[in-house]
Homo-oligomer: A and B are copies of this chain.
Amino acid sequence: MSKVITPRSEDYSKWYNDIVIQAGLAEHSDVRGCMVIKPYGFSIWENMRNALDEMFKATGHVNASFPLFIPKSFLSKEAAHVEGFAKECAVVTHYRLKNDPEGNGIIVDPEARLEEELIVRPTSETIIWNTYKRWVQSYRDLPLLINQWANVVRWEMRTRLFLRTAEFHWQEGHTAHETKEEAVDETLKMLDVYANFMENWIAVSVIKGVKSVNERFAGADDTYTCEALMQDGKALQMGTSHFLGQNFPKAFDVKFLGRDGTEQYAWATSWGVSTRLMGALVMAHSDDEGLVLPPKLAPIHVVIVPIINKNNEERKAEVDAFYQQLKNDLGKDIVVKYDEDDTKRPGFKFAEWELKGVPVRIAIGPKDLDNGTIEIARRDTREKMSIPAQNAAEYIKNLLDDIQENLYNKSRQFRELHITKADNFEAFKNILETKGGFVAAHWDGTTETEVRIKELTKATIRCIPLNNAREEGVCIFSGKPSKQRVLFARAY
C-alpha cells in the first residue's frame, strides 16, 4: 500500500504523527497551533464525549454554556490563577475591521479598540464563578453541578496534534458546594468517573493520585490526576480533578446564607478532560500497521471485505446476504461496514482498515462460501481464524468484548512492569535513560528538590498515588527523610 508508517522503533514521535495523519484523525491547519479534527477522528471524539456526558449526567450533573471571552481583569482576581494562566493567551483587542484607506485590503480599525481586552478562555473558572455569584444566595441553591463542553485556547509554542494544541476541545465541570467535605467528595468522585472511563472505554490503565504543590492547577488547594504510561515509557496526564477550596468563591465573592443563618463562602471544584485523550488512545494501543481502537470507542466495529471476482454477481449476492444478516443480528450498537468498492484490491483494503484500527475484519471468498465459513481477523493481535458463518454474530460479540479486555490487560501489564523502585539518584537516572516508565522514589517533599530533579533529568513528579504505602526512607536527591515514595516520570 501507498501509506507508510514510520516504525515505532525508528522514531516514536514520527510514528505517532503518521498514524494521526494517515488514519484520518486530524491534521495541522494553516492557523498556527490549531488543528483540524477530521471526520473519522471526530467520530471517535464524539463517542468519547457521549460516553462521558452520560456518566456526568448519571452523577447528577447538567450542561450549560458560558462565554468564550474573559475580561482581562477577571484573570487577576485569583492570585495563583493569574500567575498560571495570564501568560500565553489569545488577546482580543479590537472589534472591527475596515477597508484600508490606502488600498491595502482590510485592516484593523484603530478606532475600534476595546476599553478592556478580552482573553479567549484558557479555562473558565473566573467567568463561571463571576456568574455563580448571581446564582448562589442560600444553601438551598447548592450544590451547583454544572459541566460545559467547550473549546479553549492556550498559546502553546510547540504543538503536537491532540497532545498539545493552541485550541483544543474539552469539558470542564465547575461545581459549588455547601461544605468542604462535599466538595472534596465531588473532586474524588469525578476522578473515579475519569478513571472508569479511561480504563473501561479507552482501555488504558491509569494511576490515580494527587499532584505535588508544584504541579497543582493554578488556583487549586489540591489537584488529583489520572496518569498513564505510553508505549515509549513516557507518562501522560489524562485528566485532572481539582479541589479549589474557597479560592474562587472568595475572589468572586460567592457567599450564601447557611443553614445556621451565617453568611459563608461556597466550596469549589473543577475537573476536565480534553481532546488530549485522543492522543492517549492513539499512543497506548497502536502498532506499526496503524491505529488500534478499543471496540467501545470505535466508529466502525466490523468491516466485511468480499474477495469475489467482480463479475461474479451470484457469489457477490451471497456475500451481500451474509452482510445483511450479520447487520441485523448484531443490532444497531455494533456498526458494520461493508467495503464493496471494486476499484481496490482486497490487500489494499485490509491495510486501509488496519490503519484505521477497525477491531474486526471479515473476509469472504468463494471457498468460504462453499464451506459456509468466514475468515475473521482481530486487529489487536492480528490473529486470523476461520469460523462457521452461521455463528458469526455471537462470535463477534464475544470477540469485541475480548478485544476490549485484552487491550486493557496489555495496558495494565505494561504499566505494572514499568513502575521501578530507585533508591539513589544514579539508579533513578539510569532507569529513566534505559527502561523509562514510572520511577518510585523517596522525595523530601520540597519544591526545591522537585525542580532540581526536573532540571537534571527532565522527570517530574507525576503523582503521589492515592492510598500510597507508607514507608520510611531518604530522598534520592537531598538525602533528607521521607515517609513515602512518589512516582516520577518523563511526561508528555
Q: Could you tell me the distance between the alpha carbons of A151 and B98 in the complex, rounded to whole angstroms?
A: 23
Given A76-B105, A95-B155, A97-B119, the answer on whether A30 and B71 have CB atoms closer than 8 Å is yes
A67 touches which of B29, B89, B146 (Cβ 8 Å): B29
A12-38 Cβ-contact flags toward B at 8 Å (1 or 0): 000000000000000101110011111
Cβ-defined contact, B95 with A92, below 8 A:
no
Q: Is the CB of A87 closer than 8 A to any CB of chain B? A: yes
Q: Is the CB of A369 closer than 8 A to any CB of chain B? A: no
A43 touches which of B34, B46, B63 (Cβ 8 Å): B63
Q: Could you tell me the distance between the alpha carbons of A86 and B90 in the complex, rounded to whole angstroms?
A: 19
Cβ-defined contact, B39 with A63, below 8 A:
yes
Cβ-defined contact, B118 with A90, below 8 A:
yes
Cβ-defined contact, B64 with A39, below 8 A:
yes
Q: Is the CB of A69 closer than 8 A to any CB of chain B? A: yes
Q: Could you tell me the distance between the alpha carbons of A29 and B71 in the complex, rounded to whole angstroms?
A: 11
Q: Is the CB of A96 closer than 8 A to any CB of chain B? A: yes
Given A95-B90, A97-B87, the answer on whether A71 and B31 have CB atoms closer than 8 Å is yes
The B-contacting residues of A in range 63-84, CB under 8 angstroms, are 63-73, 75-76, 82
Contact size range, A: 35 or more
Instruction: For A86, list chain B residues within 8 Å (CB).
Output: 97, 106
Chain B: minimal CB distance from A60 (Å): 12
Cβ-defined contact, A31 with B127, below 8 A:
yes
Chain B: which residue is nearest A66 at the CB level?
B36
A131 touches which of B36, B65, B131 (Cβ 8 Å): B36
A97 touches which of B45, B71, B91, B94 (Cβ 8 Å): B91
Instruction: For A75, list chain B residues within 8 Å (CB).
Output: 97, 106
Q: Is the CB of A42 closer than 8 A to any CB of chain B? A: yes
Q: Is the CB of A153 closer than 8 A to any CB of chain B? A: yes
Instruction: For A95, list chain B residues within 8 Å (CB).
Output: 88-91, 155
Q: Could you tell me the distance between the alpha carbons of A30 and B77 in the complex, rounded to whole angstroms?
A: 15
One complex includes copies of this chain to the number of 2
Instruction: For A67, list chain B residues within 8 Å (CB).
Output: 29, 31, 34-36, 167
The B-contacting residues of A in range 342-359, CB under 8 angstroms, are none
Q: Is the CB of A62 closer than 8 A to any CB of chain B? A: yes
Q: Is the CB of A207 closer than 8 A to any CB of chain B? A: no
Given A31-B71, A36-B64, A169-B65, the answer on whether A93 and B120 have CB atoms closer than 8 Å is no
A89 touches which of B27, B34, B97 (Cβ 8 Å): B97
Q: Is the CB of A108 closer than 8 A to any CB of chain B? A: yes
Q: Is the CB of A406 closer than 8 A to any CB of chain B? A: no
Instruction: For A108, list chain B residues within 8 Å (CB).
Output: 72, 91, 93, 117
Q: Is the CB of A130 closer than 8 A to any CB of chain B? A: yes
- In addition to A30-B71, A120-B120, A150-B151, 7 A-B residue pairs with Cβ atoms within 8 Å of each other are A31-B70, A31-B71, A34-B67, A39-B146, A75-B97, A86-B106, A89-B96
Question: CB within 8 Å of B: which residues of A?
Answer: 27, 29-31, 34-39, 42-43, 45-46, 62-73, 75-76, 82, 86-98, 105-106, 108, 117-120, 127, 130-131, 134, 146, 150-151, 153, 155, 167, 169
Q: List 29 A-B contacts (CB under 8 A).
A: A27-B134, A29-B127, A31-B127, A36-B65, A36-B67, A36-B131, A39-B63, A39-B64, A39-B146, A42-B64, A42-B65, A45-B65, A67-B167, A68-B120, A68-B153, A69-B167, A87-B96, A87-B98, A88-B95, A90-B92, A90-B95, A91-B95, A91-B108, A92-B93, A93-B93, A93-B108, A95-B155, A97-B119, A108-B117
